[in-house]
Structure 1
């Protein structure tokens, strides 16, 4: 239930003052692809020395902030064995390892959603945690399912589903991430440059 864990992580970072008061510096990042097979390294769930796990999808938070006068990007990955949080420019070569599989079915896509929009819009009824007969595959969280502000009860698939052709230019992606409910889809080679541009521009989010 990594999406719900990251949802509450964002709320926690805001409430304890680690993030901006409304989460302007936070971005929720869904990692998946058309085949629902995304390899990541240094994962707690792994049984291998290098920590390799092939997820159907994974969710992390990236914080783009200023610290002691320097702009930095931090990755908050609740499932990693790497330091928590970890610098994005170190997390990428360690955990993502871009193009390790070339242009194959394992190439990853990243849906980046601005946290203020995500916290208003995300909803999950946890139906993905049940088998075809409606039985729980694993025990669900004890708290109530997350419902969006507009009353939507489930839109998890819209965040997870992504195709290579959904990735747009960096310029378009920066606009999308501040205005679209479902953010922007990036290829794995665009991720670090995208956040570099976000930091440079310091674009204020749209509140509509």
Structure 2
């Protein structure tokens, strides 16, 4: 199953677009279901836009810790139920892809006591819905003078099926009040039907993926 990160288009600091293209490629090359129904796009952020993640290639530290404003990965849940869930994180130094359980313990480190402002929330969006509705004109990567903070991808910006040109902010915005109280049928239904999926906390991540069939 191991694939090379170099097989996927990757533009630094544009993780949402990288994951969008990754999902499409996994569907096209047969690694995922053709309709992407076994893929989930996961946005990680919080109210303060400060989320620590370990083993990130962008880090200058030995432990790879980076304080992102947000991050995006793809999690694959095979329908056979026997295969481990896999995390596709193009910015991680861990194996690519990584099984979910070791990825969580190494990258998110839930056992590591964090100050409340660094608590991480996870917006889970079903990939078929994300591919249809996500849009970004990259305005978030320009400074007040209109200059690029980081060089944009060379391909055209992503426009949604409904012709929306920018809704990235809707995916990134997460508050404590948005977090689901429990992982159950309502949450799973929201992820499979809602444009913006549903928000959980780091203690619910593995539970959620253990419950979807």
Give the alignment's TM-score, normalised by structure 2. 0.90
1:120 paired with 2:101, answer no
Matches within 5 A, 1:27-176: 27-66=40-79, 70-102=82-114, 104-168=116-180, 169-171=182-184, 172-176=186-190
Q: How many residues align?
A: 198
**Quick one: which of 194, 199, 205 aligns to 1:185?**
199
Alpha-carbon deviation of 1:101? 3.1
Alpha-carbon deviation of 1:71? 3.2
SS in 2 for 1:39: strand
Alpha-carbon deviation of 1:102? 4.0
Cα distance change of structure 1 residues 143 and 49 upon mapping to structure 2, 3 Å threshold? same
**Quick one: which of 20, 23, 35 aligns to 1:7?**
20
Residue matched to 2:9:
none
Structure in which a larger fraction of residues adopt strand = 1
Per-residue CA deviation, residues 95-143 of structure 1 (Å, 9 max, x unaligned), is 0001523461101000000000000000001000100111111221110
Question: Hey, what's the Cα distance between the residues in 2 that align with 1:54 and 1:101?
Answer: 15
Runs of 4 or more, structure 1, over 3 Å off, are none
Structure 2: segments with no counterpart, 5+ residues: 1-13
Question: Hey, what's the Cα distance between the residues in 2 that align with 1:175 and 1:103?
Answer: 32
Give the alignment's TM-score, normalised by structure 1. 0.92
Structure 1: segments with no counterpart, 5+ residues: 203-208
Question: Hey, what's the Cα distance between the residues in 2 that align with 1:19 and 1:29?
Answer: 16
Residue matched to 1:205:
none
Alpha-carbon deviation of 1:50? 0.5
> Aligned-pair RMSD on alpha carbons?
1.2
Task: Please tell me whether the aligned partners of residues 38 and 106 of structure 1 are also in contact (alpha carbons under 8 angstroms).
Answer: yes
